[in-house]
Structures are given as C-alpha cells and as structure tokens.
Amino acid sequence: MTFGEQPAYLRVASDLREKIVSGSLPPHTRLPSQARIREEYGVSDTVALEARKVLMAEGLVEGRSGSGTYVRERPVPRRVARSGYGLTTGASPFRQEQAAEEARGTWESSSEQEPASAAVAERLGIEPGERVMRTRYVFRDAGEPMMLSTSWEPLAVTGRTPVMLPEEGPLGGCGVVERMAAIDVVVDNVVEEVGARPGLAEELLTLGGVPGHVVMVVERTYYASGRAVETADVVVPADRYRISYHLPVR
C-alpha cells in the first residue's frame, strides 16, 4: 500500500481511522493485531504499535485486558444549552442552562472555604491568599455524569450573608445573578471563554472517560460594575456533548 509523505505511523492510523468512521470496522470489532497491521501495511512493529496508540489517544479504540484492542462505541453528541443569565426565580444554574433540552438533571455539590490560588485570584481581581468559597459540582442527566463545575466566590462579597453557601440558605440552588441581587450586588456582565484540553485523571474518572480524552472547559466569570463576583470552570466531555449557545439579538 502506497501512502503520501506523512510519518508511517500517522498514515497507518489515518487509514484505520477512516475504516472506523466509515463503519468498515464497526463498534466492538477487534482491531487488527500488531502482526496483521505490520503485514498489511508493510511497516515495522514499532510503527504498528504507534498507530494503535494514536487511535487509543483519540478515543476511537480501547484495550481490553487479555483480549486485545477493540473499536469503541461512538456516542452521538448531545447539546449542553447555554442561553443567557438572568433573574429566573427559583431556577438553578443547571436548570437555566438546560431549559431548552428539558434536562432530567440532578447534581451533587460541596462547598469549602480556601485561600485563593494565584490563578483564581487573577480571575477574581483579588490578592492571592484572600478567602474564597469554592464549590464543586457533579451534574448528571438521567443519572449519567455529564458536566463538572468548580466555582469560586470572594468572601469579601458574600461572607456573612445569607448567600455565602451557594447551595444552602433561602436562595440555595438559585443562579448567581439572583443570589447576588439578594445582597444588593447587581450582576451586569458575564464573560465566558471556551477552550479544550486533555481531561485530568480525576475528571475522567468521574465523567467516565479514558486517559487521553479531550474535555471542553468554559471559564465563566460574573461581574458587577467591573468587579468579579464569581468565577468558575465548567468541564464537559467533548466526545459526548456539544456546547450550544442561544444568544438574544439586542
């Protein structure tokens, strides 16, 4: 088989990827063995091994102990809808974001005070070491982990108020805009930056991914008159979800 000028392992991986995507190698099919790849493509054992590693890193195949390497089931991506931030009495942030999808959502959360790291302090416009309330969430749709979120709120804003704990008190579970309004802090701007990176081991363990899987990360920060009052990292598995924005035209 004659190929172009790409490195040999990438050419082999590309050909196998095409077979997986086209359905020639359907889900749960065993990938050709290293010896078969070597023979079929006329490459060395090292090249065959590296090609298989590429497919594993892309999440297209998975190794099964004592059995071999198999084509993974390719999930049909679902949407994580994000449609703006406003005063929606009684609605949680998760419900606001999933409203268009009629999500069957549940979540778990835990909050703890901690000193702000340098990165968090920069995003909040405070000094490193200042106290913040960190809240971690695991969001589920129909029981399946679909999204992680970690938020930080400066205690200089929320400390000793009824909304100090985002998931407790009279406005527990409500959105940031509504919670802040309850303490006379008017949120007037929200900035989101979306990026992608390999998932951290602990993230993939919770979300059900495998090492090498890519996650999308939304860095979100709420502002009131130019002052950051909350910042968060929202983590979504890229192979199972797409982030869909619904933005009103003004």
Per-residue pLDDT tens, the chain, 250 aa: give them: 444 567 999 999 999 999 998 999 999 999 999 899 999 999 999 999 999 989 988 878 888 877 889 998 877 777 777 765 655 545 555 555 555 455 567 889 999 999 999 999 999 999 999 999 999 999 998 888 999 999 999 999 999 999 999 999 889 888 999 999 999 999 999 999 999 998 998 999 999 877 778 899 999 999 999 999 999 999 999 888 888 887 777 6
Any residues with CB less than 8 A from the CB of 141 and at least 6 apart, and which? 78, 98, 103, 104, 105
State the residue range of the domain holding 151: 78-245
141 and 234 co-located in one domain: yes
Residues 203 and 247: beta-carbon distance below 8 Å: no
Measured CA to CA, the distance from residue 102 to residue 202 in angstroms comes to: 28
Residue 3 forms part of a structural domain:
no
Measured CA to CA, the distance from residue 175 to residue 80 in angstroms comes to: 17
115 and 213 co-located in one domain: yes
Measured CA to CA, the distance from residue 166 to residue 151 in angstroms comes to: 10
HSE toward the beta carbon, residue 160, CA cutoff 13 A: 1
Q: What is the pLDDT of residues 57-85, one digit of tens each?
A: 887 888 887 788 999 887 777 777 776 56
* CATH number assigned to the domain comprising residue 134: 3.40.1410.10
130 and 17 co-located in one domain: no
Measured CA to CA, the distance from residue 250 to residue 197 in angstroms comes to: 33
Q: Into how many domains does the chain fold?
A: 2
